[in-house]
Structure 1
Amino acid sequence: MSASISVDAGSSAGGRKGLVLAAMICAVAMTFIDQTIVSIAAPKIQSELHLSGTGVQWAVNAYLLALAAFFALGGRLSDTLGHTRMAVIGVIVFAGASGLCGLTPTGSLAQTWIIVFRAVQGVGGAFMYPAALAIVVNTFDLRSRGRALALFFGIAGGLTAVGPILGGYLTEWTWRGIFWVNIPVALVALLLIAISRPKTQYRPAPIDWVGVLLIAAGVALSVFGFQQSHVWGWTNPLIGLSIAAGAVLLVVFFRYERGRPSPLIDVAIFSDRTFRVQCLILGISMAVFLPMFFFASEYAAVSLGQDTQKSGVTLLYFFIGFVVTSQLGGRMLDRVGAKRPIFMGSVIAAVGFYLWASKATSLDINQLTWPIIVSGAGMGLMVSPSNTDAVNRASSVSYGEATGITQTVRNYASSLSFAVLGTVMISIFQSRISDSLVQQHMPRKAADALAASITHGAYSGSGSGSSSSSSGIPPFIRADFAHGVQYVFYIMSGLMALAAIVALLGLRGGVQAAPATAEAEAEHATAEDSPAA
Structure 2
Amino acid sequence: MTTTAGTGGRSRNLVLAAMIFAVSMTFIDQTIVSIAVPDIQRELGLSNTGVQWAVNAYLLTLAAFFAYGGRLADTAGHRKVVVIGVLVFASASLLCGLTPKGGVAQAWIVIFRAVQGVGGAMMFPAALGIVVQTFALRERGRALALFFGIAGGLTAIGPILGGYLTEWTWRAIFWVNIPVAVVALVLISLSEPVTEHRPARMDYRGLALIAAGVTLSVFGFQQAEIWGWRNPGIGLTIAAGVLLLAAFVLVELRTGEPLMQVRIFRIRAFRTENAVLGIAMLTFIPVFFFISEYAQISLGKTASEAGEYLLCFFVGFVIASQIGGRMLDRDGAKRPVVLGCALSAVGFALWAARVTDLDFSDQVWTVVLAGAGMGMMLTPASTDAVNRASRLSYGEATGITQTVRNYAASLGLAVLGTISVTVFRSRLRQSLIDRGVPAPRAADQARHLAQANSTAQSGGSAIPSFVRGDFAEATRTVLSCMAGVMALAAVVAFLGLQPGLQPEPAEAEGERPEPTTR
TM-score by length of 1: 0.91
Residue of 354, 359, 366 corresponding to 2:361 = 366
User: What does 1:470-509 correspond to in 2, within 5 Å?
Assistant: 470-509=460-499
Distance 1:318 1:184 in 2: 25
Aligned residues with identical type, % of pairs: 61
The aligned counterpart of 2:290 is 295
Distance 1:260 1:305 in 2: 55
The aligned counterpart of 2:517 is 527
Amino acid at match of 2:377: M
Deviation digits for residues 325-350 of structure 1, max 9, x if unmatched? 10000000000000000111111111
Deviation digits for residues 359-410 of structure 1, max 9, x if unmatched? 1111111210111111111111111111111111223651111111111111
Distance 2:273 2:5 in 1: 33
TM-score by length of 2: 0.93
SS of the equivalent of 1:265 reads coil
The aligned counterpart of 2:208 is 213
SS of the equivalent of 2:321 reads helix
Distance 1:64 1:343 in 2: 26
The aligned counterpart of 2:35 is 40
The aligned counterpart of 1:250 is 245
SS of the equivalent of 1:512 reads coil
Deviation for aligned residue 1:108: 5.8
Distance 1:430 1:112 in 2: 27
Would the aligned equivalents of 1:360 and 1:368 in 2 still touch at CA under 8 Å? yes
State whether structure 2 residue 506 is matched by structure 1 residue 516.
Answer: yes
The aligned counterpart of 1:228 is 223
The count of residues paired between Structure 1 and Structure 2 equals 515
Deviation for aligned residue 1:154: 1.5
Amino acid at match of 1:266: Q
Residue of 372, 380, 387 corresponding to 1:385 = 380
Deviation for aligned residue 1:158: 3.5
Amino acid at match of 2:502: Q
**Farther off after superposition, 77-86 or 103-112:** 103-112
Name stretches of at least 5 consecutive residues in structure 1 with no aligned partner. 1-8, 460-464, 529-533
The aligned counterpart of 1:82 is 77
Distance 2:364 2:151 in 1: 22
Deviation digits for residues 510-533 of structure 1, max 9, x if unmatched? 0111111167779921111xxxxx
The aligned counterpart of 1:154 is 149
Amino acid at match of 2:425: Q
Would the aligned equivalents of 1:202 and 1:397 in 2 still touch at CA under 8 Å? no
Distance 1:427 1:122 in 2: 29
Amino acid at match of 1:211: G
Amino acid at match of 2:212: A
Deviation for aligned residue 1:111: 4.5
User: What does 1:103-122 correspond to in 2, within 5 Å?
Assistant: 103-105=98-100, 110-122=105-117
Deviation for aligned residue 1:92: 1.0
Distance 1:37 1:101 in 2: 13
The aligned counterpart of 2:347 is 352
Amino acid at match of 1:135: I
Would the alpha carbon gap of residues 381 and 140 (structure 1) be closer, same or farther in structure 2, given more than 3 Å must change?
same
Would the alpha carbon gap of residues 247 and 134 (structure 1) be closer, same or farther in structure 2, given more than 3 Å must change?
same
The aligned counterpart of 2:422 is 427
C-alpha root-mean-square deviation of aligned residues, in Å? 2.3
The aligned counterpart of 1:436 is 431
SS of the equivalent of 2:196 reads strand
**Farther off after superposition, 252-261 or 226-235:** 226-235
Distance 1:10 1:136 in 2: 9
State whether structure 2 residue 262 is matched by structure 1 residue 267.
Answer: yes
Deviation for aligned residue 1:63: 2.4
Would the aligned equivalents of 1:203 and 1:397 in 2 still touch at CA under 8 Å? no
Distance 2:195 2:85 in 1: 17
Would the alpha carbon gap of residues 476 and 405 (structure 1) be closer, same or farther in structure 2, given more than 3 Å must change?
same
Distance 1:431 1:283 in 2: 30
Deviation for aligned residue 1:27: 0.4
Distance 2:88 2:399 in 1: 18
Distance 1:242 1:452 in 2: 25
Would the aligned equivalents of 2:352 and 2:480 in 1 still touch at CA under 8 Å? yes
Deviation digits for residues 421-477 of structure 1, max 9, x if unmatched? 222223322222222222223322222332232234445xxxxx5452642122222
User: What does 1:136-155 correspond to in 2, within 5 Å?
Assistant: 136-155=131-150
SS of the equivalent of 1:472 reads coil
Amino acid at match of 2:314: F
Residue of 403, 410, 414 corresponding to 2:409 = 414
